[in-house]
Structure 1
């Protein structure tokens, strides 16, 4: 099976496939492989269909120009893609590519079978790229941590001071405290009430009400 026959299993337009592959063969970089090719099928006239090609490095958008004499190519790498999706409609499906920056790239009238396989190929490659990127970032962080110089251990010697004899303690004889005056009955009630409140044995509302009652008796 030659390279053209590989992309005709889902009723792709043979002429469109042959023309696109002939142009793309000179655009592939080292190690790049084409994985799937979908051809637009418009419901009315389908003389100049657009094509979408997924490779292991990017997505190609191929649009005929000048009445099919020339073709415009636009590609977007997996690094620049945020997500891909497709939406089935009455006439075929929409294939949607969401870039990291800028507007979504939407291609309509992709046959439903081709849209599913196109999405599957694109999704798998995008997830593989993200996983590779995560592993690369993890390795870079590990390498950076290993390259950080370790701080040398500094031991500071503390000089030993000669002991100085302590002075003889001075004994102070405190003056006798004056005997506390006996509390009146109102002060004693307020003190007990405050103790009950501090121990959370009564609520603030009960405390305020009882306090007001005691003060009202003065």
Structure 2
């Protein structure tokens, strides 16, 4: 039976099947049911309330009109502040506290199921808080990046060419040419010094 995976803690099978059949048409794409809890009052209850937890929402399913209809109170995890439960003599009270509006409580949830509801709910609330935190950090990062002025990197202007000094005479021309040959390593230091001495000896 396809509902068996939701009957791990003595949930009433017919109620689980009835509720999940209705919920199947209400789930969004990729939404998964994580846990189902069913009310168990001390007296015989033909039509118990139930709570269904998915990875996106929590459904409080409250039968009406002798079970012919079901009223749903639905909260997405981002709209919930917290959940709590209180164990009593007969079962436990499970309460969801929305960010706005009134709290919603279901009584006579078996204690084991109430603990599981609390556990699964807090896992989803923690995920939602972490996603919100990451989104806020990303938004701050984008705002900070937008506030930093983008500096335009310009290439440094090329230096103007140095004016070529016109040699005053033939001897200066020879010395300049000789130095150029040496700098380009076309002649050795020794040759440079020797030629330089020859030129200067003609002065």
Structure 1 length normalisation: TM-score?
A: 0.67
2:132 aligns with: 133
* Cα offsets for 1:34-77 (capped at 9, x unmatched): 00000000111311100000001110011111111121122011
Alpha-carbon distance in structure 2 between the residues aligned to 1:31 and 1:137: 25
* Residue 109 of structure 2 corresponds to residue 110 of structure 1: yes
Q: Report the count of equivalent residues.
A: 152
2:30 aligns with: 31
Instruction: Provide closer, same or farther for how the CA distance between residues 3 and 134 of structure 1 changes in structure 2, counting only shifts above 3 A.
Output: farther
Q: Would you identify which runs of 4 or more consecutive aligned residues in structure 1 move more than 3 Å?
A: none
Alpha-carbon distance in structure 2 between the residues aligned to 1:45 and 1:131: 42
Q: Any gaps of 5 or more consecutive residues in structure 1?
A: 154-218
What are the within-5 Å matches in structure 2 for residues 185-196 of structure 1? Answer: none
* Residue 6 of structure 2 corresponds to residue 7 of structure 1: yes
Instruction: Kindly state the Cα deviation for residue 144 of structure 1 after the two structures are TM-superposed.
Output: 1.3
2:122 aligns with: 123
Instruction: Kindly state the Cα deviation for residue 149 of structure 1 after the two structures are TM-superposed.
Output: 4.9
2:179 aligns with: none
Alpha-carbon distance in structure 1 between the residues aligned to 2:31 and 2:124: 12
* Cα offsets for 1:168-190 (capped at 9, x unmatched): xxxxxxxxxxxxxxxxxxxxxxx
Structure 2 length normalisation: TM-score?
A: 0.72
2:59 aligns with: 60
* Cα offsets for 1:162-212 (capped at 9, x unmatched): xxxxxxxxxxxxxxxxxxxxxxxxxxxxxxxxxxxxxxxxxxxxxxxxxxx
Alignment RMSD (CA, Å): 1.5
* Cα offsets for 1:115-145 (capped at 9, x unmatched): 0111100010011111111011101110111
